[in-house]
Structure 1
């Protein structure tokens, strides 16, 4: 494999051109205008998740007033399609002149820190200029801003069930939805009950012979109109778009914070409210389904609560086009699934909406001065930088609120760090445990009590650790971090500037 030349030498290299990376680039341009930078993206276009996932009906499960950037007003409905989100991101790229800085189809293989040069050397592969095969390219950067997300884009997670080898139908994962899949007249079973299943089922129900959502255990749902009355009113009053966006954004965040507090203070009251909403959406004839199929074992907000706009999932159930089964798979058969209860589900197509393969900073091979770097042995500083790892920040957004809320906060924090380095004349910044942190308890990146989704618990041992005190906490709580991150003390001894 040929090595391309010359080697780029940058101040900042952003990894990933999804919603985090595009936002990082805007913050960097606005707050650190003298820095040289580029974005490396493995896919053939921008968008990240919204380019990877192409299954029918794909849409946001967060409102776009908070999922959108704080600097770019959202003008559409609260819940948006993937196409609408990609168009929004494209506008950001155009409005801020980012396109010349983005290099697509660059798959990063390794990142090596050299303490003498005080640089990261990132090695990536890309298609060869002559179109024949691929070539290796290297980029040197003083600072790495990791915005590649937290799961593998190339494959979803599908458990291995007995009998899958004898099943004669088709098994697909939403993350790698095939373009040639025709569901017309097919009997479809969707395994899973999260936001993906809730989105996919109403989108395909009218073309299938029948679709069944098979879940091992129930999930909480919230239903409502895909509209925001406050936004609609402000627009009718011709309030400027930026004002409308900020007012509605603050109202949504206020309501979310209040809801989270109630989930923690009175979880059973909130549970009954959520179940009442599902009963109303299903209607009297199907209300009996709620206790068996829509009443989870876990507490509200211990996992992400999926929003069902205009109750479309429940309309599909009411119409008879869709059904819900709560059971476990005993084995695949030649023409479907045998369940542990003894029931049989016939299926021409099985869709495994069973989650992600979690990865750590893009599954890139990191090293420091030739020594392999294991992030699981590090402790996170404010959920962003890692002990013993110089000049690197990872954007890990919120899992139960809009990802972008934290991406925006990280944009401010990383730019403040870069400004502080310049002010000090420092070439290196890295977190270090202080003497008073010596007895600090080491906790998982996200505790099961805080967030219990299966994909996180399967891979949490691979992730960095957190501590039991500031600044070593990773709270996943926007209500607190919107205050603590902007005020993070850069001079308390937990950061080493060299």
Structure 2
């Protein structure tokens, strides 16, 4: 069994970032990255649907240590994948990755202060030992998206598939395409497919908030011409962070004012009857994730007639298309389900501490990155109201501080312990994919540190300045035999 200081699970955007921070802030520490798939990139390698792109600007979705230098701030998948790969290659991180290693089990032994991690590989199970387990496997199942079955699917004569498993050989030219869903995936697919399809219909169950932004940031591109890359990057990054933070707080303080502002922006893009029918949700802006439309491409497709929106529920499918609850039908040659993700905690691995299985739904989150009662485990879970990587970078910086503190045998085990009762508070957004997974997600309270604040500025100050030993995170010594072995290994 190979032993490391840290095992990182996942070689996507978060995992590669975690490895960079480890190399930078924990010099000399050993690590391995276990990746279930055959390539670096996570989401950006997995999704292959037409137009795959970010729905956050790359000045905040990019790492805090590596500038984004491409022209487009709202970037396409291949450019993001290149950014992640280049980061791994240039830092030598790629040499630490074990591909086709899907972590299935992780168990912590308090007597030794180590995790034993089991990964399924083509050659059978392999085991690894580490002092810290850093879970960076994302937040959803790569294999099993939310894929509801509709009555009559078997009767439909054309291709029908989920966007997460896009069929690369599907030919949608001059075909009638229906995309079921209205989230970021659907809003990305529709305008791209509409360029060649006979027509594309986006079918949504309820109205959706959307907002347009330029794909290129002219101020950022200007600053890059007159400033060093990192200086320009940081200026734009902080501008975007502060604006995102201000905008989100306004949605909490003055939701009706923000709703009206977004509605007014929509009315500049689309006719009033279309906005009223399809873009006036019953929830406030940012109660669910806000859909971003770069360069108004989705709106333009609706305006030029190559795409349309229907707000209704599917009753059933027949050989020619969909029949809706209202009695309306939509004829189709191809049906794409953009019906969402299936959330997954800790990469889907079974986790146990001293032989007792950990059920995340019975544990409270600590600082949005550890679990109550689970030692030496940090998990990366980004923001939903801002770019994922803003939070991922902070989490990795905290993990590095914690790992360095574990070097002392007297403080080699760090575990968040809740000593008082707390009041539950809803976790994250009220989006469908969150609500479907509530029984599996960790819990959070209304009080610190047992919650995920979704506030970058507050988290940044806390993670950089607050002491590790805050009265909740408890440090324990290794057992004498393990301490002796630790000291011998360090010599």
Q: TM-score range by the shorter chain?
A: over 0.9
Work out the CA distance in 2 between the residues paired with 1:250 and 1:279.
30
- 1:347 matched residue in structure 2: 332
The farther-off stretch of 158-167 and 80-89 is: 158-167
SS in 2 for 1:59: coil
Equivalent pair of 1:59/1:81 in contact (CA under 8 Å): yes
Structure-1 residue corresponding to 2:168: 179
Q: Is the 8 A contact 2:186 2:202 kept in 1?
A: yes
Inter-partner Cα distance in structure 1 for 2:167 and 2:231: 42
Residue in structure 1 matching 2:94, options 80, 94, 99 = 99
Task: Indicate the residue corresponding to 1:252 in structure 2.
Answer: 240
Secondary structure in structure 2 of the residue aligned to 1:232? helix
Tell me the SS of whatever aligns to 2:142: strand
Measured in 2, the distance between the counterparts of 1:225 and 1:378 equals 41
CA distance in 1, matches of 2:474, 2:26: 21
Q: Which runs of 5+ in 2 are unaligned?
A: 477-491
Give, in angstroms, the shift of residue 424 of structure 1: 6.5
Say whether 1:202 aligns with 2:196.
no
Q: Which moved more, 1:336-345 or 1:105-114?
A: 105-114
Partner in structure 1 of residue 464 of structure 2: 486
Tell me how far 1:323 sits from its aligned partner. Answer: 0.4
Task: State the partner residue of 1:366.
Answer: 351
* 2:311 maps to 1:307: no
| Alpha carbons 1:280, 1:287 under 8 Å: kept | no
Residue 4 of structure 1 aligns with which residue?
Answer: none
2:488 is matched with none
Partner in structure 1 of residue 425 of structure 2:
443
Select which of 127, 131, 151 maps to 1:142. 131
TM-score, length of structure 1 as denominator length: 0.93
1:130 is matched with which residue? Answer: none
Contact 2:364–2:451 (CA<8 Å) still a contact in 1?
no
1:229 corresponding residue in structure 2? 218
- Unaligned runs of 5+ residues in structure 1 are 1-6, 128-133
Aligned pairs, number: 475
User: Does the 8 A contact of 2:175 with 2:199 survive in 1?
Assistant: yes
Conservation of the 8 A alpha-carbon contact between 2:73 and 2:216: yes
Q: Hey, what's the Cα distance between the residues in 1 that align with 2:23 and 2:8? A: 12
In 1, Cα distance between equivalents of 2:3 and 2:213: 50
Deviations 1:460-485 (A, max 9, x none): 22111112221112122223222222
Specify the SS of the correspondent of 1:281: coil
Equivalent position of 1:297 in the other structure: 282
Aligned residue in 2 for 1:51: 45
Give the conservation status (yes or no) of the 8 Å contact 2:180–2:203. Answer: yes
Contact 1:432-1:494 within 8 A present in 2 as well: yes
The offset of 1:26, in angstroms, is 0.7
Q: What is the 5 A alignment of 1:5-44?
A: 7-44=1-38
Selected match of 2:398 from 413, 432, 457: 413
CA contact (8 A) 1:444 1:464 kept: no
Instruction: Using the TM superposition, give the Cα deviation of residue 154 of structure 1 relative to its aligned residue in structure 2, in angstroms.
Output: 1.2
For the aligned residue pairs, the C-alpha RMSD in angstroms reads 1.4
Partner in structure 2 of residue 114 of structure 1: 109
Which TM-score applies when normalising by structure 2? 0.94
Residue in structure 2 matched with residue 220 of structure 1 by the alignment = 209
Residue by residue over 1:365-397, the C-alpha shift from the partner in whole angstroms, topping out at 9 and shown as x without a partner, is: 112222222111111110111121111011100
User: Higher mean Cα deviation, 417-426 or 46-55?
Assistant: 417-426
Task: Give how far 1:444 is off.
Answer: 4.3
Among candidates 445, 465, 473, match of residue 495 of structure 1: 473
Is the Cα–Cα contact under 8 Å of residues 444 and 461 in structure 1 kept in the other structure?
no
Q: Give the corresponding residue for 2:141.
A: 152
How much does 1:113 deviate?
Answer: 1.6
Contact 1:331 1:337 in 2 (8 A): yes
CA contact (8 A) 2:54 2:77 kept: yes
Give me the whole-angstrom Cα distance separating, in 1, the residues matched to 2:457 and 2:285: 17
Corresponding position: 1:193 with 2:182: yes
- Is residue 31–residue 96 contact of structure 2 (8 Å, CA) maintained in 1? yes
Q: Secondary structure at the match of 1:60?
A: coil
Aligned to 1:211: 200
Query: Does 2:453 match 1:475?
Result: yes
1:403 deviates by: 0.3
